[in-house]
Chains A and B, each alone.
Chain A
Amino acid sequence: MNALGSLLLVLLLAGLGFAGGQVAGLRPLFGVVVPYAAFVIFLLGVSHRVVLWARAPVPFRIPTTCGQQRSLSWIKPSRLENPSSTLGVVGRMALEVGLFRSLFRNTRTELREGPRLGYGEAKLLWVAALAFHWAFLLVILRHLRFFLEPVPAVVAALASVDSFFEIGTPGLYATDIVLAGALGYLLLRRLLSPQARYLSLFGDYFALFLLLGLAASGILMRYAVRIDTVAVKQLALGLVTLSPVVPGEVGPLFFSHLFLLSVLGAYCPFSKLMHMGGVFLSPTRNLANTSRMKRHVNPWNYPVDVHTYAQWEDAFRDKLKAAGLPLEKE
């Protein structure tokens, strides 16, 4: 139900963009107003969420330690899994953000019997997640060629490396394949695994379908339905230089693509997609395990009712005396 509903919603949105691109009178709306609005919502929304997180204090130093602590000089500490220095934390975070270290932990197991089905699935999740995120990043970077003039050498180089295999014309981008494949796997996993299906919400499917729609329209435009890339670049440059030009006949699929992107951007701050920013702030990962070494201050540490020694001695004075235990007051 969740899956079907979100698929329909994404199709509807894509259709809306498609239709909007067909009507000359709506093109300013779909080509300029909507992208700007989405961008503003994205910026304001994301910064609002990040500010909310950042404003909430970290009262306690609670890293999850995944290795040996730094204690005695002759015991080798685990510098990355249980960092005790800033450098270690940076390393831990880099592994976490760049390689999904914790998710990878899923895969290391031993003493299995029989075929490695469960093992394979756990590893696939890590591979697919990693593949998707890196491919997505590269695809975004590649898109910079639409927004920058002249196109920086790095971006051009990226595009040529990406189409390294030189399959077909225009050259097939490896990242396109990886992106679509990984998204497809992540979706199938949610649909087929009873556990994942049980815990998936509307938003989980919606995000996946949105990204798939985005990828599909992009891939179609590159390999099947040719569009006027010069006009696209004109539009993109106009948008980033704040001197928007209302585009002409760019090709309707492009408007689907642009509209889905706008929806994704505007949806981001209200959804789990915020995890991209949140991972950097996670107190179980971004703190060094120096809890006993350096004092960590809690800004709202308030006094509490403690049963003091004096109260305790008063309560048990006779018994303390009879047992011969020393007293503060006789």
Chain B
Amino acid sequence: MAEADRGLAPLTRALAARKDAIVAGWLSRTLESYPERNRRFLLQERDAFRNPAGHAFREALPALLDELLGAMDCARIEALLDGIVRIRAVQDFTAGQAVAFVFLLKKVIRDELRRPAHTAFFPSGGEDKGEGEGLAAVEGRIDEMALLAFDLFMRCRERVYEIKAAAAGRRTFLLDRMQARRP
């Protein structure tokens, strides 16, 4: 872990300072997976009950970024990802599409770092591989997150089938119960 995290600390500090911009970029890129006419609604309607999906994104993304730049606590990350993946698992997305929003963060972070104030991290404009060590560590963490998201997606899909089976049972509840209790 220590090896992988080499060069991480200065980078996370820099990213944390730009958290708001990164979250905004990440959110808007994520919402690009929805049709254009909904995007504004998802993005702008702040009422948690009128716009639960948009709300879920707005709640989870900043917290996920905190984890990424901080403790990387799996349990917490899972809970946060769950809020988003559970929604996407019953919308018209394939598994890949449903979890792609995690990978989008890489591009957002890179774009953010390319901005002038941070040329410190890219003195050579991204040519020199050595200077990307911190970045590679962050991106490794993003990959971990994506794998978690993928697992969650699969679990949601399995859950759907389990729930369907349980619902069928509920409909014949009394019949089953009568059979069980009156042999």
Contact = CB atoms under 8 A, between A and B. Distances in A.
A4 B44 CA distance: 27
Contacts of B49: 109, 111
B20 interface: no
A194 B40 contact: yes
Contacts of B39: 194
Q: Most B CB atoms within 10 A — which of A121, A193, A194, A198?
A: A194
B127 interface: no
A324 interface: no
A118 B50 contact: yes
Contacts of B110: none
Contact of B46 (A119, A193, A198): A119
B93 interface: no
Contact size class for B? Answer: 10 to 19
Nearest to B49: A111
Contacts of B41: 118, 194-195
Interface in B14-51: 36-41, 44-51
A113 B38 CA distance: 20
A117 B37 contact: no
A54 B84 CA distance: 50
A189 to B, nearest CB: 12
Interface in A218-272: none
A195 B37 CA distance: 5
Contacts of B50: 109, 118
A263 B8 CA distance: 70
B36 A112 contact: no
B133 to A, nearest CB: 36
Given A117-B44, A194-B38, A195-B38, 18 more contacts: A109-B47, A109-B49, A112-B47, A113-B48, A113-B58, A114-B58, A115-B46, A117-B45, A117-B46, A118-B44, A118-B45, A118-B50, A118-B51, A119-B46, A194-B39, A194-B41, A195-B37, A195-B41
Nearest to B35: A194
Interface of A: 109, 111-119, 121, 193-195, 197-198
Contacts of A113: 46, 48, 55, 58
B37 A194 contact: yes
Contacts of B47: 109, 111-112, 118-119
Contacts of A197: 37
B40 A112 contact: no
A111 B39 CA distance: 22
Nearest to B59: A113
A111 B44 CA distance: 15
Interface in B102-150: none
A275 B39 CA distance: 30
B36 A194 contact: yes
B37 A198 contact: yes
Contacts of B48: 111-113
14 contacts: A109-B49, A109-B50, A111-B47, A111-B49, A112-B46, A112-B48, A114-B46, A116-B46, A117-B44, A117-B46, A118-B41, A118-B46, A119-B47, A193-B40
A196 to B, nearest CB: 9
B109 to A, nearest CB: 23
A109 B50 CA distance: 9
A100 to B, nearest CB: 19
A15 to B, nearest CB: 34
Q: Which 9 A-B pairs have the closest CB atoms?
A: A118-B45, A194-B37, A117-B44, A198-B37, A112-B46, A114-B46, A109-B47, A118-B46, A118-B44
